[in-house]
């Protein structure tokens, strides 16, 4: 089988495909034949080592000093090729989707997962590509909008950067919660922002829609507290998804300024599936490439201008 590996921090070519034997599932493990996996902004950041200001040291302490010592690939969708001893609750051939997490390993033709880990049956309303795209932006947008900003029905939300992975999930989830959504996007993505449910869209290069907003979801950190504060209502909250170390420190003393990272555990995954089943979220798959073009997928992901999610497919995904 083919499996991806990072050779160094740096350009997209530092992710390479090696040959490896298909792993054998151990006790309590599933062997999954991967059909699709996303190439996310997080994958691009881990490979390049380029993170928001002040966080480079933390990244290298967490995943490796001279090169990323984690395996490429955060999430996957596929089907179960074999069950390890003692596995219950899954069947061979069943379609599943899940997370390998930041230690990675989803950019491979086959992978193993603990059956009691972050893996769930793939709903029949999702293709493999949609299953692969499901969790990255969805988990982030759901946790920050629902749990952290406590977005309420009737509130007015601005999503700055509304059509990438996090933004496209954020617009949909906010509409489902009963909020009114305004958005910024580059002109080519205005149609998509409106299809997702934004009622007002401006180009972020010319400025955001007119405030006040109850919540601002600032996906790339392009507004920051200084840019967002004049647009917020008196109790308005800023959610900064891409935050520098200084932003993170400032948010600890300002309850209206929300930063951090989101959880990627089974309860969060199950909640997102429920949201999907209630019609509140379906991931956008903007582009699909064959697994062999993983380096090209990294090049696209690190532009931070992709519509929705970018997915690579292994074998014959449908």
Ligand X SMILES: NC(=O)c1ccc[n+]([C@@H]2O[C@H](COP(=O)([O-])OP(=O)(O)OC[C@H]3O[C@@H](n4cnc5c(N)ncnc54)[C@H](OP(=O)(O)O)[C@@H]3O)[C@@H](O)[C@H]2O)c1
> In angstroms, rounded to a whole number, what is the distance separating the alpha carbons of residues 285 and 131?
10
Specify the DSSP class assigned to residue 292.
Answer: G
Structure tokens at 203: 């180009």
What minimum distance in Å lies between the beta carbon of 215 and ligand X?
16
Closest distance between ligand X and the C-beta of residue 247, in Å?
11
List 6, 128, 135, 204, residue binding ligand X (CB under 6 A) = 204
Return the number of the residue (219 or 238) whose C-beta is nearest ligand X.
219
Residues of span 234-263 touching ligand X by CB under 6 A:
241-242, 261-262
- Picking from 33, 177, 170, the residue whose alpha carbon sits closest to that of residue 185 is 170
- Find the radius of gyration of the CA atoms of the chain: 19
Q: Find where tokens 């997962």 sit.
A: 113
φ/ψ (deg, to 5) at 30: -105, 145
Q: Does 304 bind ligand X (CB under 6 A)?
A: yes
CB-closest chain residue to ligand X: 164
Q: How far is the CB of 304 from ligand X (least distance, A)?
A: 4
Beta-carbon count within 10 A of 10 CB: 15
Is the Cβ of residue 113 or residue 141 nearer to ligand X in the bound state?
141
Instruction: Mark 115-154 with x for binding to ligand X (rule: CB under 6 A) and - for no binding.
Output: ----------------------x--x--------------
Return all residues near 162 (Cβ < 8 A) that are at least 6 apart. Answer: 168, 170, 171, 181, 183, 184, 185, 189, 193, 196, 198, 201, 219
Strand 15-19 and strand 110-114: pairing?
Answer: unpaired
Stretch that binds ligand X, among 79-87, 116-124, 248-256, 298-306 (CB under 6 A): 298-306
* Number of residues forming the site for ligand X (CB under 6 A): 29
The answer to whether residue 42 forms part of the interface with ligand X (CB under 6 A) is: yes
167 touches ligand X (CB under 6 A): yes
Q: Which is nearer to ligand X, 28 or 64 (CB)?
A: 64
Tokens representing residue 110 in the block: 């086959």
Binding mask 74-113 for ligand X (x = CB under 6 A): ----------------------------------------
**Using the rule CB under 6 A, which residue among 33, 35, 45, 47 binds ligand X?**
45
Contacts of 316 (CB under 8 A, 6+ apart): none
φ and ψ of 77, to 5 deg: -135, 145
**Which stretch, 19-27, 63-71, 124-132, 156-164, contacts ligand X (CB under 6 A)?**
156-164
User: By CB under 6 A, which span of 1-9, 114-122, 178-186, 247-255 interacts with ligand X?
Assistant: 178-186
Helix (H, G, I), strand (E, B) or coil at 13: helix
């Amino acid at each position: 089988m083919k499996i991806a590996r990072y050779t160094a921090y740096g350009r997209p070519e530092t992710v390479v495909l090696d040959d490896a034997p298909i792993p054998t599932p151990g006790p309590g493990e599933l062997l999954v034949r991967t059909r699709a996996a996303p190439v996310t902004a997080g994958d691009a950041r881990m490979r390049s080592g380029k993170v928001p200001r002040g966080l480079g040291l933390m990244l290298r302490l967490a995943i490796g000093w001279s090169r990323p010592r984690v395996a490429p690939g955060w999430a996957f969708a596929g089907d179960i090729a074999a069950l390890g001893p003692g596995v219950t609750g899954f069947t061979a051939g069943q379609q599943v989707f899940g997370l390998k997490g930041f230690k990675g390993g989803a950019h491979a033709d086959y992978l193993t997962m603990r059956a009691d880990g972050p893996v769930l049956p793939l709903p029949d309303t999702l293709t493999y590509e949609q299953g692969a795209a499901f969790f990255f932006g969805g988990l982030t947008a759901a946790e920050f909008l629902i749990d952290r900003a406590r977005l309420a029905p009737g509130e007015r939300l601005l999503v700055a950067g509304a059509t990438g992975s996090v933004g496209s999930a954020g617009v949909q989830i906010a509409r489902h919660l009963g909020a009114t959504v305004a958005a910024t996007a580059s002109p080519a993505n205005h149609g998509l922002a409106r299809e997702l449910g934004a009622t007002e869209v401006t180009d972020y290069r010319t400025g955001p829609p007119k405030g006040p907003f109850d919540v601002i979801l600032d996906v790339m950190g392009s507004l920051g507290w200084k840019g967002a504060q004049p647009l917020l209502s008196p109790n308005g909250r800023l959610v900064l998804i891409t935050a520098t170390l200084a932003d993170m420190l400032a948010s600890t003393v300002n309850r209206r300024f929300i930063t951090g990272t989101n959880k990627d555990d089974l309860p969060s995954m199950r909640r997102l599936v429920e949201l999907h089943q209630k019609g509140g979220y379906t991931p956008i798959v903007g582009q699909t490439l064959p697994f062999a073009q993983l380096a090209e997928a990294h090049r696209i992901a690190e532009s931070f201008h992709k519509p929705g999610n970018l997915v690579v497919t292994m074998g014959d995904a449908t």
